Structure 1
Amino acid sequence: MENRASQTYEIMEVCLLAGKIMLQSGGETYRVEDTMMRIAAAFGIENSHSYVTPTGIIFSAEGSEPTKTKLIRISERSTDLKKVAMVNSISRRISSGEIGPKEALKLLKELNSLTLTFPFMVQVAAASMASGCFMIMFNGGWNDFIPAMIAGGLGYLSNIYFHRFVPIKFFSEFLASFVIGLLSFLFVKLGIGHELDKIIIGSVMTLVPGLLITNAIRDLMAGHLVSGLSKGAEAFLTAFAIGSGIAIVLSFL
């Protein structure tokens, strides 16, 4: 009996760690719940329940006395879709019977400790290039391509650094958009840039919460109202912070 209870806790730990990695990496709520329940079923726990919000996961396993329930807190969230794909790959190996609970837990712990994001300067360079391309996509002129690249890259850079010093997401996004607006205005004032609105629009696109908005809509469509509304509110506050930073620049300069 004791051995069975220990095995159940091990399976729950596998499910919770898989859900934690997916949720922290930008996975949708319904995908996280489905993955956790599929892993539990593959390991012999047919009756399991999961409740996922953007800030926590509750998982319950029935079929044993007493019913076991665990809760973990999610404090940080980012975007790393490669980790989501790798958890899905491990989940499929579990479902096919290739690996057991111990091997799955080991693989998930190794995945959780990995840093799969691109180097910092590569991210900044990609943000710069994306800003210039977005500006062209919004019918901007090629003579504003370089100003948009510089403003977008420095805005993305300031967002990361402000978040390190003040770990409040909306505050760092507000300051980053303020930097973008200020640089765009200076480029136009100095004659380096020409269309202020196009430069600003292209530059702020790297800060826009596109994944949050997408996940919020998908969660709402899947019936996860709490997660959908909370992610939608987070996306709205992020958009409000970006708009406020630009509005202050345009109001006072």
Structure 2
Amino acid sequence: MENQTSYTDKVMELCLMAGKIMLESGAETYRVEDTMMRIAASFGIRESHSYVTPTGIIFSIEGELTKTKLIRVTERTTDLEKIAEVNSISRKISSGDLSLDEAYQSLKEIESASLQYPFWLQITAASIASGCFLIMFKGEWRDFIPAMIAGGVGLVCVTYFHRLVPIKFLAEFLAAFIIGFLSVLFVKIGFGYQLDKIIIGSVMPLVPGLLITNAVRDLMVGHLVSGLSKGAEAFLTALAIGSGIAGVLSFM
């Protein structure tokens, strides 16, 4: 009985760790729930239930002794590689290639690993993307460099402000304000020409595209709480960006 209880606890811890990693990395709600229940089923636990929201996971295993655990998720980012790694481990568990202890160790390594690209590379990508978005929105090539600079500085600012004050809305508002200020400054000194196109291209790296996509996906499959929560978060992000730009334009 004690061995069975210990085994069930280990399976539950494994499922919760997998779900936590995926949710913190930006996975959809349905994917997190499905992965957790598949892992439990692969280890012989057929009756399991998971309830996932953007800020927490409730996981229950039924049997002779029903167990339920809750974990909080406070930090969320976008790391698709971690999601892919957890999915790969889940498939290996389902095919019997990983034992319980091996799967647990693999997930611990993924949890502690930093799989994101270096920060300088993220800034470079955001800068190039800002310039390309400007062209996509029918801007002029002479505004490509100003949009690159403003977009790169914006990503640096949102990252720095979020570390300084862990309030996402405030960090995005200040970053958008600085982007708007730089865009206006470039136009004033003659380095930039189309103010609207420069601003639009520069703020695109801040736009919550993944949040919007996941919110719609969750709503479509019936996860109303998660869908509405992610939609509200995306709306607040858009509001912060718009307010920051509006604040600059109202003073210039």
The equivalent of 2:170 in structure 1 is: 171
Instruction: Identify unmatched segments of 5+ residues in structure 1.
Output: none
Aligned-partner Cα distance in 1 for 2:9–2:86: 20
CA deviation map 1:147-195 (0-9, x unaligned): 0000111111111111111111110000000000000000011111000
Report the alpha carbon displacement of residue 207 of structure 1 after superposing the two structures with TM.
Answer: 0.2
Task: Map residues 29-68 of structure 1 onto 2, 5 A cutoff.
Answer: 29-63=29-63, 65-68=64-67
Q: Which amino acid aligns with 2:3?
A: N
The equivalent of 2:154 in structure 1 is: 155
Aligned-partner Cα distance in 2 for 1:14–1:34: 14
- Give the alignment's TM-score, normalised by structure 2: 0.99
Aligned-partner Cα distance in 2 for 1:146–1:66: 63
Aligned-partner Cα distance in 1 for 2:109–2:119: 22
Q: Which amino acid aligns with 1:152?
A: G
- Give the alignment's TM-score, normalised by structure 1: 0.99
Alignment partner of 1:28 is 2:56: no
The equivalent of 1:188 in structure 2 is: 187
Aligned-partner Cα distance in 1 for 2:120–2:108: 27
The equivalent of 1:242 in structure 2 is: 241
Report the alpha carbon displacement of residue 243 of structure 1 after superposing the two structures with TM.
Answer: 0.2
The equivalent of 2:145 in structure 1 is: 146
Aligned residue for 2:159, secondary structure, equals helix
Q: Which amino acid aligns with 2:59?
A: F
Instruction: Identify unmatched segments of 5+ residues in structure 2.
Output: none
The equivalent of 1:113 in structure 2 is: 112
Aligned-partner Cα distance in 2 for 1:224–1:101: 30
The equivalent of 1:8 in structure 2 is: 8
Aligned-partner Cα distance in 2 for 1:222–1:97: 30
Report the alpha carbon displacement of residue 108 of structure 1 after superposing the two structures with TM.
Answer: 0.2
The equivalent of 2:201 in structure 1 is: 202
Aligned-partner Cα distance in 2 for 1:22–1:220: 19
Q: Which amino acid aligns with 1:121?
A: W
The equivalent of 2:77 in structure 1 is: 78
Aligned residue for 1:52, secondary structure, equals strand
Aligned residue for 1:51, secondary structure, equals strand
Aligned-partner Cα distance in 2 for 1:249–1:230: 29
Aligned residue for 1:206, secondary structure, equals helix
Aligned-partner Cα distance in 1 for 2:110–2:176: 33
Q: Which amino acid aligns with 2:240?
A: A
Report the alpha carbon displacement of residue 120 of structure 1 after superposing the two structures with TM.
Answer: 1.0
Report the alpha carbon displacement of residue 107 of structure 1 after superposing the two structures with TM.
Answer: 0.4
Report the alpha carbon displacement of residue 66 of structure 1 after superposing the two structures with TM.
Answer: 2.0
Report the alpha carbon displacement of residue 100 of structure 1 after superposing the two structures with TM.
Answer: 1.4
Aligned-partner Cα distance in 2 for 1:5–1:163: 42
Aligned-partner Cα distance in 2 for 1:164–1:99: 37
CA deviation map 1:4-42 (0-9, x unaligned): 000000000110000000000000000000000000000
